[in-house]
Structure 1
Amino acid sequence: MTPLTLTSETRIFVAGHRGLVGSAIWRHLESLGHTHLIGRSSSELDLRDRGAVFEFLSVERPDVVILAAAKVGGIQANNTYPADFLSENLQIQVNVMDAAAEVGIDRLLFLGSSCIYPKFAPQPIQEDSLLTGHLEETNDAYAIAKIAGIIQVQAVRRQYGLKWISAMPTNLYGPGDNFSPTGSHVVPAMIRRYAEAADAGSTSVTNWGTGTPRRELLHVDDMAAACVHLLNTYDAPEHVNVGVGEDVSIAELAAAIAAATGYAGDTEWDTTKPDGTPQKLLDISRITATGWTPQVSLAEGITRTVAWYRAHRDSIRS
């Protein structure tokens, strides 16, 4: 591996800088003193527009690209709109990476998802479990797009010799998340559901599934720190898992969120709805070997995210 160092003068394009992960990366870079950050909203630059992306990168020519832009959603959204998730994510990835390769941008970090792994991969999931089994059916289209991104990074390294890398985060949550009742992931969906129930004095909340699947949850501020750490330390074709190394059941998560929101009623489970993957716990030995460890506990992260939601719910994506 070749150690690399980002300086305050490094020009960094954060694609998706207003999303959950991108905004956290932007905040973290600013906290480290970076003053040459480049970001464009989707209205300013549609990453699905190939010509616009090529023109943008040829003009800006950043030193580093962090590809955090993606079309994302929870089980319901992925299961309802698989063609959209496949097509739009492929367009975003291919356009940005093709343009970055043409310009000769030496350093790019592609962010994927732990859903790339087989539904029944041995736990904790090691990076070499990729492509060893069938995917979870409810988000296979999104997973295929992210797998394609990993392969493109590896192909560019082989063909052009550029120092591109990939990171696969576990389930992320935190400020800036999507709290939509139909398009969000499990943590923001539950925070909204329980907060609204607590505020309304409701006596019952119903969640999807059985509550038995287990999930690993990483606060987005830890993910942001991991991204910068990898850009400074990691240079290899193999993708890197980013997580916390432990998981909780969905029922345990629901109880923790209920307590954080002040909800004191009952929780019911709609077992006619899908559970998704039974367990998804990442082996994080590759990244911890480089010196990175997560800092935000789940209890602290949930408390902070609930507080952020309540302070911003009138203006956030919903």
Structure 2
Amino acid sequence: MTETIKDARDRVKFNASALDRDARFYVAGHRGLVGSAIWRRLESDGFSDLVGRTSAELDLKDRDAVFAFFKEVQPRNVVLAAAKVGGILANSTYPVDFLSDNLRVQVNVLDAALKYGVERLLFLGSSCIYPRLAPQPIREDSLLTGHLEPTNDAYAIAKIAGILQIQAIRRQYGRPWISAMPTNLYGPGDNFSPTGSHVLPALIRRYEEAAKAGAKTVTNWGTGTPRREFLHVDDMAEACLHLLDHYDGPEQVNVGTGCDVTISEIADTIGRVVGFKGTTEWDADHPDGTPQKLLDVSKLAHIGWTARIGLEEGLRSTVQWYRDHADNLRDVR
């Protein structure tokens, strides 16, 4: 479905402008990688009434609890950053969890936000929503034009459902809600679990442990040839606020750097940053995933935002954060 057709059905009559910094703002998933970065960004930008709940305080899969929360708190603005996320191993092993948990979280939060009058809402998805073999760099209109990457299709379907629910709410109820699709994210607060993490934090942990142990080799999954784009989570948070202040439309917006590297190149860079002196081997018996995943970020640039944090600069700060928090890491399968 083209943007023209979606725009023709869109009922929203809203001119995007800077959000009221005193309005109540709920960040769903405020302790996670993305949510915590958004919280920091909102605080630094003068938002004075931020609301967050841990998963122990509010299970977003519990529909009655979510509705009770929205009724009590009455936020005017929401960022939906809460999600069950993981790397290739986790997605391949637990597809039911990734589909069911994310669908329930999204439907509960979006339905409750609709009922209790949330004005501005940003839904966060993932670049895995796009077809496995989409033309590169991937434009927003590539959505639903081909087969998904099978190693994370369940998660992707859940996120696609979220985008379509945002579009449906705009058409049916005229709410100025929007969606953003970030590329691969990294930074402080990431999940460094050996079995549940994404590629970059997994590599940081692996090379850091190898460097400490004086290991002569590190073995990574796949061939090292796939190309990936990486965005520091603080840049992502800045982009989210920029979109809330300046963008309104039914089409999801890609958020990335517009540059990619091979997995082999990122592994070499991480090895150098942590001080690993050995060699890297590749186990081609394990899957590579999508051959290339680079986002076209021209729409975001047109809206007025581009990434600031360089990859090596971001990696050095992330490695330092990992070292500073090595005894209290967020391990999620």
Match of 1:69 among 77, 82, 99: 82
Larger deviation: 1-10 or 50-59?
A: 1-10
Structure 2 letter corresponding to 1:41:
T
**Equivalences for residues 154-173 of structure 1 within 5 A:** 154-173=167-186
Counterparts of 1:83 and 1:3, CA distance in 2? 37
Structure 1 letter corresponding to 2:24:
R
Structure 2 letter corresponding to 1:14:
V
Aligned length: 318
| Residue number in structure 2 paired with 1:236 | 249
Deviation, structure 1 residue 2: 1.6
Once the two structures are superposed, residues 169-224 of structure 1 have per-residue CA deviations (whole angstroms, 9 ceiling, x without a partner) of: 00000000000000000110000000000011111101000000000000000000
Once the two structures are superposed, residues 133-191 of structure 1 have per-residue CA deviations (whole angstroms, 9 ceiling, x without a partner) of: 00000000000000000000000001111010000000000000000000000110000
1:87 match: secondary structure: helix
| Residue number in structure 2 paired with 1:181 | 194
Determine if the alignment matches structure 1 residue 143 to structure 2 residue 187: no
Structure 2 letter corresponding to 1:3:
A
| Residue number in structure 2 paired with 1:82 | 95
Counterparts of 2:20 and 2:212, CA distance in 1? 46
Match of 2:316 among 296, 299, 303: 303
Structure 2 letter corresponding to 1:157:
R
1:166 match: secondary structure: strand
Match of 1:25 among 38, 47, 65: 38
Give the CA RMSD over aligned residues: 0.7
Deviation, structure 1 residue 7: 3.0
Once the two structures are superposed, residues 2-28 of structure 1 have per-residue CA deviations (whole angstroms, 9 ceiling, x without a partner) of: 222123202110000000000000011
**Equivalences for residues 243-254 of structure 1 within 5 A:** 243-254=256-267
| Residue number in structure 1 paired with 2:270 | 257
Counterparts of 2:234 and 2:72, CA distance in 1? 30
Structure 2 letter corresponding to 1:101:
L
Q: TM-score, normalised by structure 2?
A: 0.95
| Residue number in structure 1 paired with 2:10 | none
Once the two structures are superposed, residues 201-252 of structure 1 have per-residue CA deviations (whole angstroms, 9 ceiling, x without a partner) of: 1111010000000000000000000000000001100100000001000000
| Residue number in structure 1 paired with 2:7 | none
2:303 match: secondary structure: coil
1:189 match: secondary structure: helix
Structure 2 letter corresponding to 1:317:
R
| Residue number in structure 2 paired with 1:317 | 330
Unaligned residue ranges in structure 1 (runs of 5+): none
**Equivalences for residues 30-41 of structure 1 within 5 A:** 30-41=43-54
| Residue number in structure 2 paired with 1:126 | 139
Determine if the alignment matches structure 1 residue 8 to structure 2 residue 21: yes
**Equivalences for residues 48-63 of structure 1 within 5 A:** 48-63=61-76
| Residue number in structure 1 paired with 2:240 | 227
Structure 1 letter corresponding to 2:76:
D
Counterparts of 2:76 and 2:198, CA distance in 1? 33
Once the two structures are superposed, residues 117-139 of structure 1 have per-residue CA deviations (whole angstroms, 9 ceiling, x without a partner) of: 00000000000000000000000
Q: TM-score, normalised by structure 1?
A: 0.99
| Residue number in structure 1 paired with 2:130 | 117
Structure 2 letter corresponding to 1:49:
D
Deviation, structure 1 residue 33: 1.6
| Residue number in structure 2 paired with 1:101 | 114
Deviation, structure 1 residue 274: 0.2
Counterparts of 1:62 and 1:132, CA distance in 2? 36
| Residue number in structure 2 paired with 1:47 | 60
Unaligned residue ranges in structure 2 (runs of 5+): 1-13
| Residue number in structure 2 paired with 1:215 | 228
2:218 match: secondary structure: strand
Deviation, structure 1 residue 316: 1.0
Counterparts of 2:20 and 2:43, CA distance in 1? 12
